[in-house]
Structure 1
Amino acid sequence: MGDFIISLEGTPSGEWVALGLALLAAFLHAFFGALQKGRHDPLLARGAIDASYGLMAAPFAFFVVPWPEPHMWPIFAGAFVIHALYKWAALASYRRGAFTVVYPVMRGTGPLFTVIGAWLLFGETFNGVQWLGVGVLLAGIYGLAIYNMRKITVARDTLVPALWLAVLTGLFVALYTTYDAYGIRAAADPFTFLAWFFFIDGLLFPIIAGRAYLRMEDPPAFGPLALRGFIGGLVAFGSFGSIMLATRLDHVGEAAVLRETSTVFAALIGWLVLRETVGPRRVALMGLIAAGAVIVEMGG
């Protein structure tokens, strides 16, 4: 399978596959965010999810994919630190703010800085039409966040720190997207990177969440939490795996922008699942997000 992905690099077919992977990642990432914001404490949900995908990745890392080259171990160490900081910031924001407010801010901050990072690290550039698309997409994302912030009635007393944490999370999104793109391109086999990334990334937060669970006076039932973790682990494979493969096949900046259509899916999930209201103005703002992504892709 790794040879097949490598054969698509730099080809028109590879660009179309990258497009599909980025959109798949967008949908799955919105679902992944909602799993962390649902009925369980975000830290417990994150720990269950990380434990699940770490355990599922372990046999592939040790027995299926080729062993990592020596130069990959420092790259894995860097990814471990960056993702740990990203998760801390995201969880802190989810605990303080409504999902449909903080999620767009997280995702809106990411693509702009990812485009800049891709230019600095990979020499990728956007033309004028694509920058217009980025502007349209960001207007939709931040407009959605501002509108939600004005209308939301829950967790208003902690909204300001939640928004600052969401901005910080967005910066980490840009950092890990660019860094992971570098990592998966540095590996001889992309699936070696993916298997070891998920195994290593799943080591820390299950320990932190487990300690928090044991200290609770009235902890939630373990069965539903484990089920959420299992589902989240599968979603994480699809979401993060798809965007990493997309960044190997095509431009990092374009993949990052397309992934931010996840904000549209997040708003739909917030409405359908979390029972957060959606009106015509929010629909129009979601249309801007989708239009911006289309302009970026067509402009390239």
Structure 2
Amino acid sequence: MLSYTGGFVLLAALLHASWNAMLHGNADRLLSMTWMSIAIGAVAALVVLVTPWPAAAAWPYIVASGLVHIVYNVSLVRSYRRNDLAQAYPIARGSSPLLVTLGAALFAHETIGPLHALGIVMISGGIIALALQGQHVSRAGALAALTTGATIALYTVIDGIGVRLSGGEALAYTAWMFLFYWLMPLLFVAKRGLAALWAPLRTAPMALGSSLVGGLVSIAAYGIVIWALQSGAMGAVSALRETSVVFAVLIGRVFLREAVSGKRWLACIVVAAGAVCLGL
């Protein structure tokens, strides 16, 4: 992977960790995710007005990715509600690069060299080690986390193929895919009603603002990833993106004063070494 591309993907990883921290910090995460989605959908609607249409071959992938992202968003909210899955969730982030590499080989006929393969394994192994340290993860929790990892891998492979068929219109591809995020407020209103959607305007304006900012950060984070998928190997891009778990550890240490054990630091070093392998 080219160094400047890898640098941007690492920036995307930092942004990804940041918006997840914003989501996790809000008490009503379904409401927060819904307002994040409104911000994402609003930006996407503006972008599609000023960008060319993606090539016709990309449209099935845009639709498929948009729908899979909605499933992932709902799954993410649920993961933050259940302690067992919340503990196991980094397993999803660690397993997805391996699944993306396999999917890219099967459906896009991608191959990677030994050094990049080592980097992907080191990143995935380090992230899973972070997830398992000091935690007891039940079989159900691990299965749920792996299912979430499969969802992440699915939309990554879909977007990796789709953006390459978009005729060089990565920005337009991303915007049209993100238009599907307007389904989130529809689902929320169907579940809780319109009044519950507007309630934060008067009861929790700070949380609402955090959600809107989180949505903007999210669209930037994944937009970078889609751009990188145009030319970078899908497994390598996915692995670099999932270093967001390490950034989350660092954010917790620096800003939340959370304790980080020596084993956790070692796992972070393994992930960083894997990222270096991908950059060589």
TM-score calculated relative to the size of structure 2 = 0.88
Change (3 A) 1:206 1:222: farther
Distance 1:270 1:161 in 2: 27
Distance 1:132 1:72 in 2: 31
Query: Could you list the runs of 5+ residues in structure 1 that have no partner in the other structure?
Result: 1-13, 151-155
Matched, 1:93 2:69: no
Measured against aligned partners, the alpha-carbon deviations of 1:42-90 in whole angstroms (never above 9, x if no partner) come to: 21111110111101221221x2001344443322221122112222222
- Measured after TM superposition, the shift of residue 196 of structure 1 is 1.1
Query: Where does residue 37 of structure 1 map in the other structure?
Result: 24
Change (3 A) 1:36 1:161: farther
Matched, 1:172 2:151: yes
| Residue 72 of structure 1, aligned match among 58, 66, 69 | 58
SS at match of 1:204: helix
Query: Number of residues paired by the alignment?
Result: 274
- Measured after TM superposition, the shift of residue 124 of structure 1 is 1.7
Structure 1 letter corresponding to 2:225: I
TM-score calculated relative to the size of structure 1 = 0.82
Query: Could you list the runs of 5+ residues in structure 2 that have no partner in the other structure?
Result: none
- Measured after TM superposition, the shift of residue 139 of structure 1 is 2.3
Measured against aligned partners, the alpha-carbon deviations of 1:220-251 in whole angstroms (never above 9, x if no partner) come to: 52422321222112101211001110111322
Query: Where does residue 182 of structure 2 map in the other structure?
Result: 203
Structure 1 letter corresponding to 2:18: F
Change (3 A) 1:38 1:233: same
Query: Where does residue 42 of structure 2 map in the other structure?
Result: 55
Matched, 1:185 2:164: yes
CA RMSD of aligned residues (A): 2.5
Distance 2:140 2:252 in 1: 21
Change (3 A) 1:148 1:46: farther
When structure 1 is superposed on structure 2, of 191-200 and 160-169 the one drifting more is: 160-169
Change (3 A) 1:140 1:295: same
Query: Where does residue 280 of structure 1 map in the other structure?
Result: 262
Distance 2:70 2:62 in 1: 12
Distance 1:276 1:265 in 2: 13
Query: Where does residue 133 of structure 1 map in the other structure?
Result: 119
Matched, 1:236 2:218: yes
Change (3 A) 1:99 1:231: farther
- Counterpart contact for 1:44–1:213, Cα < 8 Å: no
- Counterpart contact for 2:55–2:165, Cα < 8 Å: no
Between the aligned residues of both structures, percent identity stands at: 32
Structure 1 stretches (4+) deviating beyond 6 angstroms? none
Change (3 A) 1:115 1:105: same
